[in-house]
Amino acid sequence: MLNDTIVAISTALGESAIGIIRMSGEDAIRIANDVFRPKSKEKLMDFRNKELVYGHIYNDNKIIDEVFAVYMKAPFTYTREDIVEINCHGGIIPLNQILKLLMKNGARMAEPGEFTKRAFLSGRLDLAQAESVMDLISAKTPKGFDVAFNQLEGRLSLKVKEMRNEIVTIMASIEVGIDYPEEDIEDVTFDEIKNHLESIKNKILDLINNSQTGKVLRDGLNTVIVGKPNVGKSSLMNALLREARAIVTDIPGTTRDVIEEHINIKGIPLKIVDTAGIRDTDDIIEKMGVERSKDYFNRADLIIFVLNAAEELTKDDIDIIDLIKDRNTIVLINKTDLPQLIDMDVINKYIRNDIIIRGAITLEHGLDQLEDKIVEMVYGDKIKKINENPIISNVRHINALEMAYEQTMDAIKSVENKMPYDFIEVDIKNIYDYLGEISGETIEEDVIKKIFSNFCLGK
C-alpha cells in the first residue's frame, strides 16, 4: 500500500477562509499536474521545491477553485514521499470537489492517521514521536503542548534508546558468562549486571513517577468541589472561572445538580465540578443531587473541600472529612471575613495543616494560594525535573514502562540469587522488548494499526 498515493482534507470542514488538502505518494505530482494550472508556467513541478504557487484547479476545462499549491519533493517531507498540498477556499463545496477530483485522477482516500503512519514506517518518526502528534493537536494548555512537543522532538525516544543500549551492554556481559563458563569471572559478571540493572530501574522509575503529571497535563485534572450546603462552593466555582456560572444565594441547597466546566490554572487543565451540598435531606430532588455528588467525588483526581469559618463544625462536615481520608484534597476554610466560629484546634485533629487554605472567596482572598496549592499538588517535587526528564502522558507508554520495571526487578532478584545466566537473560530480553514497544521497534502490527486508527483524517 505504500506504493499508492493518498489524499485527505487536513483542515476542519466549515466556512473558514482557507482549507488544505494534502496528497502524498509517488503519483502526487502527476495527479496535481493533471488538475492544477499555474498562472505563470506549464506545471507545478516546473517551480522550485516547496515554492507556493498561485493558480486554478480545473475539472477538464471548468475552473473548480482559485488556489495556492506547493510541491514538496521526497525525501525531505513529513512522509518522506512526494507531497502536494493545495490551499483552497475553506468551504465544504470547494474542499469536497477538489478531493473527489484528486481521487478520480488516481489518489486514494487516506485512512485516519495514515500520513503520520507513513512517516513512522519510513523511519522519519518513531512510534512515540508519531503518537505525540495527536497530543499536540489535542493539547489543552501551553504546558500540555510543551510536553507533547518535547516528545515529538524525541526526548522520550532518546531516553528509551539510552536504556536499550545499556541493556545491550548487559547482554554482552551475559554472553561472556555463557560462552566461557569455565573462567573464574562469575562474581564480577553478576556485579556488573546488577549495577546496570539498578541504573535502568532508576531511570524507568523516574519516568513512571513523572507519568501522573503527564496524564494531568494531557487529559486534565478531574476536580470536585465538595462541602455541605451554603459554605461557598458555587462562589468558589465562579471565582475560579472568573464568571457567574453557578447560582449563588444565602439559601442552603441552591445547587441541586452538578455543574461542570473546563478551566486553565497556571498551565494545568482542570475539569472542575461544583456539586450539590452533601448532607442528610428529606428533599427527593436534593437527595438525588447529593447521590450524584458522591459519584463524582469517588471519580475525582482532586477534591476541594470547603468549610464555613463562620459556623461550628457539624456532623455533615465530619462525615465529609471521613470521605476525604487518603484522597488528594485541598481544604478551603471560607468566609474568614466573618466572625469565626469554627474551632481550628478541632480541624487540625482531622486535617493536616499543609493542605488547609484560609480565605474569603467573595472578596477573592485566598484564591491565589488555592491555585498555587493546586499547582504544587500536580507537580510536587517534579517541577524541577520537567527540563531534565521527559514527562510521560501516554497510557500505552506508561503500561510498557511498568512492565519493563517489573521485569527489571525480576532480573535483579535473579542476579542476587545467582541464577543461571540463561534465566537472567530471559528477563533482560523482556525489558528490552517492553522498552522497544514505546519507540515501536518491538511491537505487533495490529497494535500499530490500532494506534493510528485513533488519529484524525488528514494527519
Other beta carbons within 10 angstroms of residue 227's beta carbon come to: 26
Task: Summarize pLDDT for 86-124 with one digit per residue, the tens.
Answer: 999 999 999 999 999 999 999 999 998 899 999 998 989
Q: Cα(268)–Cα(375) distance, rounded to whole angstroms?
A: 7
- Asked if 48 and 40 touch (Cβ cutoff 8 Å), the reply is no
Other beta carbons within 10 angstroms of residue 82's beta carbon come to: 22
Q: Which of 96-110, 277-291, 337-351, 396-410 has the lowest mean pLDDT?
A: 277-291
Cis status, amide bond into 75, omega within 30 of 0: yes
- Strand arrangement, sheet containing 221-226: 259-265, 268-274, 221-226, 302-308, 329-334, 356-358
Q: Cα(5)–Cα(148) distance, rounded to whole angstroms?
A: 29
User: In 3D, which of 210, 269, 264, 219 has the Cα closest to residue 387?
Assistant: 210
Range(s) of the chain covered by CATH 3.40.50.300? 220-378
Asked if pLDDT for residue 253 goes beyond 50, the answer is: no
Task: Summarize pLDDT for 290-341 with one digit per residue, the tens.
Answer: 666 667 777 888 899 999 999 888 888 888 888 888 888 999 999 999 998 8
Q: Cα(440)–Cα(259) distance, rounded to whole angstroms?
A: 41
Q: Cα(223)–Cα(258) distance, rounded to whole angstroms?
A: 12
Say how many Å lie between the first and final Cα of the chain, rounded.
Answer: 17
Q: What is the pLDDT of residue 387?
A: 52
Range(s) of the chain covered by CATH 1.20.120.430? 130-216+390-453
Other beta carbons within 10 angstroms of residue 250's beta carbon come to: 6
- Asked if 29 and 44 touch (Cβ cutoff 8 Å), the reply is yes
Q: Cα(48)–Cα(250) distance, rounded to whole angstroms?
A: 70
Range(s) of the chain covered by CATH 3.30.1360.120? 6-117
- Hey, which CATH number is domain 6-117, 3.10.20.30, 3.30.420.40, 3.30.1360.120, 3.30.499.10? 3.30.1360.120
Q: With b meaning 16 or more CB within 10 Å and e meaning fewer, what string describes 45-64?
A: eebeeeeebebbbeeeeeeb
39: CB partners within 8 A, 6+ apart: 54, 55
- Asked if 45 and 74 touch (Cβ cutoff 8 Å), the reply is no
Task: Summarize pLDDT for 130-144 with one digit per residue, the tens.
Answer: 888 888 887 777 777
Task: Summarize pLDDT for 146-202 with one digit per residue, the tens.
Answer: 778 888 888 888 889 999 999 988 887 787 666 655 555 555 578 888 889 999 999
Mean pLDDT for the chain?
83
- Asked if 79 and 119 touch (Cβ cutoff 8 Å), the reply is yes
- Asked if 3 and 70 touch (Cβ cutoff 8 Å), the reply is no
Query: Cell 482549507 belongs to which residue?
Result: 19
CA 72 distance to own-chain centroid: 30
Asked if pLDDT for residue 425 goes beyond 70, the answer is: yes
Supply the DSSP string of 357-412, one letter for each residue: EE-BGGGTBTHHHHHHHHHHHHHGGGGGGTTTSPPP--HHHHHHHHHHHHHHHHHH
Give the burial class of 222: count Cβ atoms within 10 A of its Cβ; 0-12 exposed, 13-18 middle, 19 or more buried: middle
Which CATH code fits 220-378?
3.40.50.300
Decide yes or no: CATH 1.20.120.430 for domain 130-216+390-453. yes
- Asked if 409 and 422 touch (Cβ cutoff 8 Å), the reply is no
